[in-house]
Amino acid sequence: MSDLSNKKPETGAFFQRDRAWHAPALTPGYKTSVLRSPQKALLSLDGTISEITGPVFGHSILGELDNDLIHNFARPGESAIGERIIVHGRVLDERGKPVPGALLEFWQANAGGRYRHKKETYLAPLDPNFGGCGRAITDEEGGYRFRTIRPGPYPWPNGVNDWRPAHIHFSIFGHGFAQRLITQMYFEGDPMIWKCPIVTTIPDRRAIEQLIAPLDWANTIPMDARAYKFDIVLRGRRSTLFENRLEGN
Amino acid sequence: MVQNLGYLKESPSQTAGPYVHIGCTPNFAGITGVYETDLGSSMVNDKTLGERITVRGRVIDGAGTPLKDAVVEIWQADAAGLYNSPSELRGAADPNFSGWGRCPTSADEGVFTFETVKPGRVPYKDGRRMAPHITFWIVARGINIGLHTRMYFADEPEANAEDPLLARIEHRHRVATLVAPREGSIYTFDIHLQGENETVFLDI
C-alpha cells in the first residue's frame, strides 16, 4: 500500500506470544468473557507468510485533524470540553527497534465518561464538539502523537457498582498481521485502575503497569495542554540471516 | 551471571470493548465527517484480478447467540497468491487489491460481509503449498485478546487435503470448522467461539 522507506523489509517470523503475560480468554470477573472464550486449546503455528505479512498504510489516508480529537468533530471555531492533553510515545518491537509506519487508531469517551455510540445509555451528556476517534501513523523513529481531552471514568453493567478507569483504546497495526493488537491506555495515579475487572484480567502487575501512561511534564505545553507518554511494544521478529528456509532461521 | 537478553515485553492486549466501532468504523457508528470512509470497508475495485466472491458469516457465543458488537478483520493473498505487503518479496501483488478488510457484525443479525476475490495458493515454510485460505482476526467485548483463525474453501477438497495446517488438527472432525461451504459466489463462515462446534483458533 505504500513505500515506507528504502530499508530492506524484514521477513523473519515473529517471536511467539507470551500468553502468560496477556490475559487468558476466560476471566469470569469480566462477565462477558464467560461465553466468549474458547474452551479448547489454541493450535500453535510458527509464522507462515500469511502471518508474517500484513497491511501497511500510507500517510495519504490521514486527514489534517485525524490526530486532533479536540477539533476533528468540533464545529468551526469551537472545541471539545475537558482537560486538554497530548498523548505521545513510540511504537517499538520486543527487540527495542522502532516500528515506523505503524497505524494507530484510538477511541475514547468524552470528559464526562460518555461515548458517542448508539448503544451507550449513560446519563452523562454528549459533548456536541467531541466525536472520540482519531488516528496517526508512526514516523521513522516509531513516534506518534495526538491531542485530545482526558476521558472520564464511566459505570458499566458488570458488577453492581463497576466503573472503568479513565482510558483510551488503541488499535495498532505493525508490519505483520501476527502483530495485530488492541489494548487500552490508563493514566498515572488513577485509583480506579486496580478496581477494574477488565484491567485485572491481566494476571501480572508488571504487565498492567505497562499500560499506565506517566504524566510527561517535559512535554507539557505551558498554558495549553499536559502531556502523557505511552510507549507501545509489538512482537519482535527473528533475524533472516539464514534464508535456507522461506520463513527465515 | 550472563548478559541480559534485553528484550522488551509485548504490550498486553485488552478487550476492544462494545464501542470499538467509534475508533475502527466511526461512520458505521454514526460518527460522520471525521474520516471519509471506514478503513477496510472496500477491498476490491473494477480492475481487481480474480474470481469475485462474497464471504459472510456470524460470530457465535457459547450460548448460540450471534455477537452484534464484534469487528472482524481479514487478510489474504491476491488471486495470484501474493500479499499486498512490504514483507512480500516474491513479487508485486495486484495493486487493485488491498488484501485487508474490516467489517463490524451487523446490529440486527450479527452478520459480517466481505466482497473480495478468491486467494491463490501460497507456500508453507518448507515450500509445500498451502490450500487457499483467508486469515481472520476477531475482536469484541468479552474477548481479551484478538482471536486468529483461518477460513478454507469447501470447493478446494484436494488442496485442503494436502494443507499443512489442516493436517495438524488432531481431532479430525474439527477440520470442518475451518472450511466454508459455497453457494453460488457466496461462502458462509460461521465462527463459534465456544462449545460443541468450537472453531479452531490459532496461536500464531
Task: Give all domains of chain B, ordered by start, each with its CATH number.
Answer: 17-192 (2.60.130.10)
- Please give the model's pTM, rounded to 2 decimal places: 0.96
Distance CA B119, CA B123 (A): 13
User: What are the backbone angles phi and psi of residue A208, rounded to the nearest 5°?
Assistant: -60, -45
Residue A243 has pLDDT above 60, yes or no: no
- Distance in Å, alpha carbon of A199 to nearest chain B alpha carbon: 8
What DSSP string runs through A27-42? -TTSGGGGTSS--SPP
Q: Does the pLDDT of residue A3 top 90, yes or no?
A: no
Rounded Cα–Cα distance for residues B160 and B183 (Å): 18
Tell me the average pLDDT across B79-92.
96
Instruction: Tell me the average pLDDT across A73-78.
Output: 97
Q: Is the pLDDT of residue A105 over 90?
A: yes
| Cell 473480495 found at | B116
The size of the A-B interface in CB pairs under 8 A is 285
Instruction: Tell me which chain B residue has its CA closest to the CA of residue A207.
Output: B12
With beta carbons under 8 A apart, name residues in chain B contacting A171: 16, 20, 23-24
Q: Is A198 on the interface with B (CB under 8 A)?
A: yes
Question: Of B101, B195, B196, B14, which is closest to residue A193 (Cα–Cα)?
Answer: B14
The predicted structure's pLDDT at residue A8: 77
**Angle subtended at Cα B135 by Cα A137 and Cα B176, rounded to the nearest 5 degrees:** 160
pLDDT at A1 over 70: no
Report how far residue B193's alpha carbon sits from residue B143's, in angstroms, rounded to the nearest whole number.
10
Residue given cell 534464508 in the structure block: A243
Mean pLDDT of B88-95: 95
Query: If pLDDT is split at 50, 70 and 90, which confidence band does A249 have?
Result: very low
Q: Which residues of B touch A9 (CB under 8 A)?
A: 86-87, 89
A235: pLDDT strictly greater than 90: yes
- Please report the residues numbered 103 through 142 in chain A whose beta carbons come closer than 8 angstroms to any beta carbon of chain B: 105-108, 115-120, 131-135
> Considering only alpha carbons, which residue of chain A is nearest residue B140?
A36
- From the list B140, B136, B135, B137, the residue with the least C-alpha distance to B110 is B140
Given a cut of 50, whether residue A163 has pLDDT beyond it is yes
State mean pLDDT over B19-47. Answer: 97
C-alpha pair distances (Å), A32 with each of A26, A28, A186, B62, B180: 9, 8, 21, 11, 27
Is the Cβ–Cβ distance between A21 and A210 less than 8 Å?
no
Closest CB to A49: pick one of B18, B123, B143.
B123
Instruction: List Cβ neighbours of B69 (8 Å cut-off, separation of 6 or more).
Output: A119, B18, B20, B21, B104, B105, B140, B141
Rounded mean pLDDT, A111-131: 96
- Residue A168 has which C-alpha cell? 483510551
Q: For A85, what's the count of Cα atoms within 13 Å in the CB-facing half-sphere?
A: 22
Q: Calculate what percentage of chain A has a pLDDT beyond 70.
A: 93
pLDDT confidence of residue B125:
87
pLDDT range class, residue B197, cuts 50, 70, 90: very high
- Find where cell 468524552 sits: A110
Sorting pLDDT into bands at 50, 70 and 90, what band is A190? very high
Its ipTM equals 0.97
B13, A183 contact by CB (below 8 A): yes
Q: Which of A11, A36, A233 sits opposite B11 (nearest CB)?
A: A233
CB A134 within 8 A of CB A146: yes
Q: Report percent pLDDT > 70 for chain B.
A: 100
Cβ distance B31 to A50 less than 8 Å, yes or no, reads: no
Enumerate the residues of chain A whose CB falls inside 8 A of the CB of residue B16. Answer: 169, 171, 182
| pLDDT score for B121 | 98
Distances (CA, A) of B48 to A51, A178, B115: 23, 26, 11
Q: Which positions of A are catalytic?
A: 115, 154, 164, 167, 169
The residue of B61, B102, B173, B204 whose CB has the most chain A CBs within 10 angstroms, and thus the best one to mutate to test that interface, is: B204
Q: Does A38 contact B at CB distance below 8 Å?
A: yes
Q: How confident is residue A244, by pLDDT bands cut at 50, 70 and 90?
A: very low
Contact between B198 and A39 under an 8 Å Cβ cutoff? The reply is: yes
d(CA A164, CA A50): 36
- Distance (Å, rounded) from C-alpha A59 to C-alpha A101? 8
Q: Taking residues A212-240, report their average pLDDT.
A: 96
Residue type at A249 in one-letter notation = N
The pLDDT, as a whole number, for residue A248 is 41
